[in-house]
Structure 1
Amino acid sequence: MKYTAIRAAFELLWLSRLPALSRALSRSRGVIFTLHRVLPADPPAFSPNAILQIRPDFLDYTIERVRDLGIDIVTLDEAIDRLASPKKPRPFVVLTFDDAYRDNLEYALPILLRHEAPFTLYVPTALVDGVGEIWWQAIEDIIARQEAVAFTDNGEVEYVDTSTTAQKKDAFNRLYWHLRKLPEPERRAFLAEFCHNYGYDLEKQCRDLIMSWQELRLFAGEQLCTVGAHTVHHYELAKLPEDEARQEMLQSVEVIQAQFGIRPEHFSYPLGGPLSCGPREFALAKDLGFKTAVTTRPGGLYPHHLESLTALPRVSLNGHFQAERYVDVFASGGIFTVLGKLTG
């Protein structure tokens, strides 16, 4: 129902030509796009994480379309300069990729190079080491292949039927939000037991999905690529003690610097919503010297964001909305600023 309503809103916005009007009249100067995975195959009926993936042809079209609209694709540093300009400059889009998925190398990088489109890649270092936990994908994979699942909650074993697609979706939502609400140590323990019970190898999954350091060097060596930090373990920082949150941020910078000889100046908060980061984390990012830090809260960029560069909004290129006509909506920062206020 949620995505049906959003799709209806996108259709109405596109038919009304409001995105063009918004770009012309809004004080928004640009948009940061959030991307994760780029995969050619359409996802199966049960694939709750499909929101995180777009097709290569949609990425290709998005780059072409925003430029046709007179919007420049720029680096984060250039975006800051345009926010600071006394006169309204040409509008811009910043492309950002979270998590360093291997498919970014196979499918996204050739498109970005062909279009000479600058981008930022946010790297969670433990995942690249092959010892991270892509827990959201793990619970999808397990539920997808089971007719029922069992898990222990408060010492009691609960059995959940997952024989139909609808039941699988319900089970995923229950487990996802259950894990989101747990403190990180309890989440990790719960996940370890759940994966062990179903013979799911978290480390193999991590190695299969995420680039190695050797593969990442192909990105780090590209002039178009800005390497950003994304913590060590991809934990929700707001759930950690302050010292531990600081260390997650700082150590990720130090590991990337040791690997590539460059010190990341830009940061992305894992998950990035209100449950995952807030004023404490924004202050930590500023104190650690990051030029920018991005959330996943929707909205365009305005000159006033110069006062809050470690709490920048982004617009997600959501895998459920890959119709070409929707790119005009995605590129309209003013619209997402209004939507963010209405839903926030």
Structure 2
Amino acid sequence: MSLKYTAIRASFELLWLTGMPRLFRLLSRSRGVIFTLHRVLPAPPADFSPNAILQVQPAFLDYCLERLGELDIDIVSLDEALERLASSRKGRPFVVLTFDDAYRDNLQHALPILRAHEAPFTLYVPTAFVDGVGQLWWQAIEDIIARQEAVAFSEDGETEYVETRTLAQKQEAFDRLYWRLRKMPEPERLALLNDFTAAYGYDLHQQCRDLIMDWQELRQFAGDPLCTIGAHTVHHYELAKLPLEQARNEMIQSVDIIEAQFGIQPKHFSYPLGGPLSCGPREFDLAVELGFRTAVTTRPGGLYPYHLHKLCQLPRVSLNGYFQARRYVDVFASGGLFTQLGRLTG
């Protein structure tokens, strides 16, 4: 675990020990929290798993939902959350559950738990992923580095061989490649990713088919009355890095494809990656222009009545896979705490 996450864990411990989550729930004007989830997997992550932040174990998810009930926190849909925000009285605090990307393990491991707790949730779907032609590039570079003792990085016509024998070397190589890809324009990122995966015989489309629900499986998932389907673009590109019309088309086409498949038009949207590098005022305005009722980021924070005027830039709190200790659920559920965190890190 990096120094950053070690520091966050220490902060979580201090917050829990001092009873701050309960105090914030009592005194903060935050009405609730939107949780971000991605994968739900029973096996613990391998020693080298930089994407472990995106996965929680079924037992932890089950405990989270149980603990929310003990804290008198309601689990509600996005639409009900908006109704509660509009109410003149604070009422009971609430949590909204959201899942990004349509991972198959959501169907296998998350849905039975959600049904057992009668917990409504939203699933944001990038349609190319469900078609089996998406690129889960963050997982691809982890998989390649995990199995290699060295990897080749090419830049400006030069090739550098980087050792990846130890965990530290693997993590350093992952961080270097990850942030290089994040900072590139999307066409350059795609080209570099294709070259890198091809050099190691890694089939991106097969990876997508292995990890993501197909349309038939997604139809089972979406057919559950607890489920709200949201849009998440077509290709999961970072919208802020696209020309305006391409960004608009990514959003419009994702809605059209989902409507063609299910006969419903999604009214809720999630910006891929969702941080400041990925979306900003232009994208927020696009979501409003296209008629989305809400659009969520990955910026941390709780929900307040003023968010009724900023419904296409809503914050979320990630149920981070590095922090699956039961005592941390009280911290995650405190919107006020994460609002302060967002101000400190923003």
TM-score w.r.t. length of structure 2: 0.99
Q: Deviations over 1:235-277 (max 9, x none)?
A: 0000000000000000000000000001000000000000000
The CA distance in 1 between the partners of 2:222 and 2:317, in whole Å, is 24
> Quick one: which of 285, 301, 312 aligns to 2:314?
312
The CA distance in 2 between the partners of 1:304 and 1:155, in whole Å, is 51
Q: Deviations over 1:286-314 (max 9, x none)?
A: 00000000000000000000010000000
The CA distance in 2 between the partners of 1:253 and 1:155, in whole Å, is 40
> Quick one: which of 108, 111, 123 aligns to 2:110?
108
Q: Structure 1 residue 3 and structure 2 residue 5: aligned?
A: yes
Which residue does the alignment assign to 1:89? 91
Which residue does the alignment assign to 2:286? 284
Which residue does the alignment assign to 2:162? 160
The CA distance in 1 between the partners of 2:156 and 2:128, in whole Å, is 29
Instruction: State the one-letter code of the partner of 1:4.
Output: T
Q: Structure 1 residue 192 and structure 2 residue 194: aligned?
A: yes
Name structure 2 gaps, 5 residues minimum.
none
Name structure 1 gaps, 5 residues minimum.
none
Instruction: State the one-letter code of the partner of 2:17.
Output: L
Which residue does the alignment assign to 1:24? 26
**C-alpha displacement of 1:181:** 0.5
The CA distance in 2 between the partners of 1:263 and 1:23, in whole Å, is 35
Q: Structure 1 residue 218 and structure 2 residue 220: aligned?
A: yes
3-state SS of paired residue (2:174):
helix
- Structure 2 matches for 1:27-38, cutoff 5 A? 27-38=29-40
Instruction: State the one-letter code of the partner of 1:251.
Output: Q
Which residue does the alignment assign to 2:152? 150
Q: Structure 1 residue 327 and structure 2 residue 329: aligned?
A: yes
**C-alpha displacement of 1:105:** 0.5
Which residue does the alignment assign to 2:262? 260
Which residue does the alignment assign to 2:249? 247
3-state SS of paired residue (1:338):
helix
Instruction: State the one-letter code of the partner of 1:306.
Output: L
Instruction: State the one-letter code of the partner of 1:154.
Output: D
3-state SS of paired residue (2:291):
coil
> Quick one: which of 297, 300, 323 aligns to 1:298?
300
**C-alpha displacement of 1:151:** 2.2
TM-score w.r.t. length of structure 1: 1.00
The CA distance in 1 between the partners of 2:153 and 2:208, in whole Å, is 22
Which residue does the alignment assign to 2:139? 137
Instruction: State the one-letter code of the partner of 1:215.
Output: E
> Quick one: which of 235, 251, 259 aligns to 1:233?
235
- Structure 2 matches for 1:47-66, cutoff 5 A? 47-66=49-68
3-state SS of paired residue (1:158):
strand
> Once the two structures are aligned, what percentage of the paired residues are identical?
76
The CA distance in 1 between the partners of 2:153 and 2:170, in whole Å, is 14
**C-alpha displacement of 1:158:** 1.4
The CA distance in 2 between the partners of 1:343 and 1:285, in whole Å, is 25
Aligned pairs, how many? 344
3-state SS of paired residue (1:290):
coil
Runs of 4+ in 1 over 6 A off after TM superposition: none
**C-alpha displacement of 1:154:** 1.7
Q: Deviations over 1:62-113 (max 9, x none)?
A: 0010111010000000000011001112110000000000000000000001
Report the RMSD for the aligned CA atoms in angstroms: 0.5
